[in-house]
């Protein structure tokens, strides 16, 4: 995530409107919400066990079905009516209400890395969890189950003619998943038009509120050529050499540009090519991720990449005395930008909850499932699910459940605020 501290955070730290603060306090001090708070503390071991179990089920992007089925079984056992949609998302309804309107709480099922065996998900002597996906997004999914359990046990708000709660464990958030689960939910699913607001649970902590969507584009570049023997065919165009020039020219062009007022980033995350040390590579491939707060800057980065590819191919072919190389660029992902409307009551409601609980969170701009509803002008935020974590998208990923209960209280109280608005 890219955390942006700016004038918007002055608003976040400002005192919430009195009417929101009053409603948050009234809800939090009701007997039902107090019982929910006690439930979170009494059942922390149960939540931890659910967290570890779900993380031991491999769920890499595009292969989330086994974890999805497990989540559906847990929802059903907790008294929710859970069904998969056409994208593979698991939709869980409270009390069978399907007419809406709804407040949706979501968490993505997929992980960048997956455990090769259950033992890779482990608990250290200090109580920390270690292993792929324990933080991103084991924390969010465990919070979803805790919310499902407490909702049926303590009934924090009574059913009324207003909005109802729906829980979503969605697919395709990471990498080349391209937010496909959330795209389907918002744009194609019959449910999408009945969802009034989205609370996305992504990762740990309580220190941020993502209310601006960071736009991104992903590209795959494949350079191909004749290949050949490293000695007898020397002079043929070399796909790896050309690809190396692309990376050099692209990074060089950005270093010479004046520093922009808004933040942007780029990352060549995959490089592949060649067969052996004594063979001229006939193919080389890379994947590029570019992100920018300003949509115009994002388009400029994409243009610079195209120019770097053209230049690299020209240079490689100019030096070749044999077969030439060629390049093919394919866009493999696009995450649109957007921001929460200033007239939305979602942010002031969450700020009032934070004020009541003593949480000091900053507003940020990041790339999450909330990108899709925000880009459509819908109400959405992304928040952490409590506890602490780090090492996301690496083999050293960790999660500390100590203090998770504060994050769960925050989620529950925020949802109740939205349902009773």
Largest CA distance in the chain: 83
Residue 257: predicted pLDDT: 66
Task: Specify which residues 90 forms β-bridges with.
Answer: 84, 169
Length of the chain: 421
Checking if the pLDDT of 3 tops 60, the result is no
Q: Are 58 and 115 in contact (CB under 8 A)?
A: yes
Average pLDDT, the chain: 93
Checking if the pLDDT of 264 tops 70, the result is yes
Domain architecture of the chain: domains with CATH? 7-213+337-419 (3.40.630.10), 215-335 (3.30.70.360)
**Does residue 283 sit in helix, strand or coil?**
strand
Task: Specify which residues 83 forms β-bridges with.
Answer: 91
Residue 259: predicted pLDDT: 66
- Average pLDDT on 109-137 reads 97
Residue 262: predicted pLDDT: 76
For residue 193, report the phi and psi dihedrals to the nearest 5 degrees. Answer: -70, -10
Q: Are 288 and 306 in contact (CB under 8 A)?
A: no
- Find the range with the poorest average confidence among 17-31, 148-162, 244-258, 394-408: 148-162
For 262, residues 6+ apart whose C-beta sits below 8 A from its C-beta are 292, 293, 294, 297
Which DSSP symbol is given to 118?
G
What strands, in cross-sheet order, belong to the sheet with 129-130?
A: 122-123, 129-130, 398-400, 388-390
Q: Are 151 and 39 in contact (CB under 8 A)?
A: no
- Average pLDDT on 343-348 reads 94
Over residues 217-259, the pLDDT tens digits come to: 999 999 999 999 999 999 999 999 999 999 999 999 988 666 6
Q: Are 196 and 89 in contact (CB under 8 A)?
A: no
Which DSSP symbol is given to 214?
P
Q: Is 339 exposed, middle or buried (0-12, 13-18, 19+ CB in 10 A)?
A: middle
Over residues 321-342, the pLDDT tens digits come to: 999 999 999 999 999 999 999 8
Tokens of 288: 């590029």
Measured from the Cβ of residue 278, the count of other Cβ atoms closer than 10 Å reads 8
Over residues 73-88, the pLDDT tens digits come to: 999 999 999 999 999 9
At which residue do the structure tokens 């997004």 appear? 137
Count the helix, strand and coil residues of the chain and give each as a percent rounded to the nearest 5.
40, 25, 35
Tokens of 243: 């690809």
Residue 94: predicted pLDDT: 87
Over residues 9-65, the pLDDT tens digits come to: 555 545 668 899 999 999 999 999 999 999 999 999 999 999 999 999 999 999 999
Checking if the pLDDT of 122 tops 90, the result is yes
Q: How far apart are CA 379 and CA 105, in angstroms?
A: 12
Residue 2: predicted pLDDT: 38
Q: How far apart are CA 421 and CA 408, in angstroms?
A: 20
Q: Are 62 and 172 in contact (CB under 8 A)?
A: yes
Residue 421: predicted pLDDT: 83
**CA pseudo-torsion sign 403, 416, 383, 385:** positive
Q: How far apart are CA 246 and CA 257, in angstroms?
A: 17
Pure H helices in 160-208? 180-183
Checking if the pLDDT of 161 tops 80, the result is no
């Amino acid at each position: 995530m890219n955390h942006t501290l700016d004038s918007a955070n002055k608003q976040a730290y400002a005192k919430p409107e009195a009417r929101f603060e009053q409603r948050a306090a009234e809800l939090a001090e009701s007997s039902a919400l107090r019982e929910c708070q006690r439930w979170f503390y009494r059942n922390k071991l149960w939540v931890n066990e659910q967290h570890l179990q779900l993380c031991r089920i491999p769920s890499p992007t595009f292969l989330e079905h086994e974890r999805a089925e497990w989540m559906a079984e847990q929802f059903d056992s907790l008294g929710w009516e859970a069904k998969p949609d056409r994208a593979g998302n698991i939709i869980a309804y409270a009390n069978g209400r399907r007419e809406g309107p709804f407040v949706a709480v979501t968490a993505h099922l997929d992980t960048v890395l997956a455990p090769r065996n259950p033992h890779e998900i482990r608990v250290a002597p200090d109580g920390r969890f270690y292993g792929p996906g324990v933080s991103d997004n084991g924390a969010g999914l465990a919070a979803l189950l805790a919310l499902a359990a407490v909702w049926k046990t303590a009934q924090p708000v009574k059913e009324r003619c207003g909005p109802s709660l729906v829980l979503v464990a969605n697919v395709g958030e990471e990498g080349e998943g391209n937010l496909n689960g959330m795209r389907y939910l918002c744009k194609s699913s019959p449910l999408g038009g009945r969802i009034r607001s989205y609370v996305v649970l992504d990762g740990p902590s309580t220190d941020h509120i993502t209310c601006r969507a960071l736009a991104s584009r992903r590209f795959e570049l494949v350079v191909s050529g004749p290949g050949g023997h490293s000695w007898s065919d020397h002079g043929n165009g070399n796909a790896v050499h050309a690809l190396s020039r692309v990376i050099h020219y692209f990074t060089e062009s950005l270093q010479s540009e004046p520093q922009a007022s808004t933040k942007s980033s780029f990352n060549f995350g995959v490089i592949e090519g060649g067969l052996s040390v004594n063979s001229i590579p006939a193919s080389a491939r890379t994947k590029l991720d570019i992100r920018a707060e300003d949509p115009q800057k994002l388009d400029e980065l994409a243009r610079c990449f195209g120019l770097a590819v053209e230049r690299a191919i020209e240079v490689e072919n100019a030096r070749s005395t044999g077969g030439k190389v060629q390049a093919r660029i394919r866009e493999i992902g696009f995450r649109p930008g957007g921001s929460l409307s200033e007239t939305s009551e979602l942010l002031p409601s969450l700020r009032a909850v934070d004020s009541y609980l003593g949480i000091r969170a900053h507003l940020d701009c990041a790339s999450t499932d909330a990108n899709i509803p925000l880009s459509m002008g819908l109400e959405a935020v992304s928040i952490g699910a409590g506890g602490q974590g780090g090492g996301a998208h690496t083999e050293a990923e960790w999660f500390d459940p100590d203090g998770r209960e504060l994050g769960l209280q925050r989620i529950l109280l925020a949802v109740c605020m939205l349902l009773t608005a």
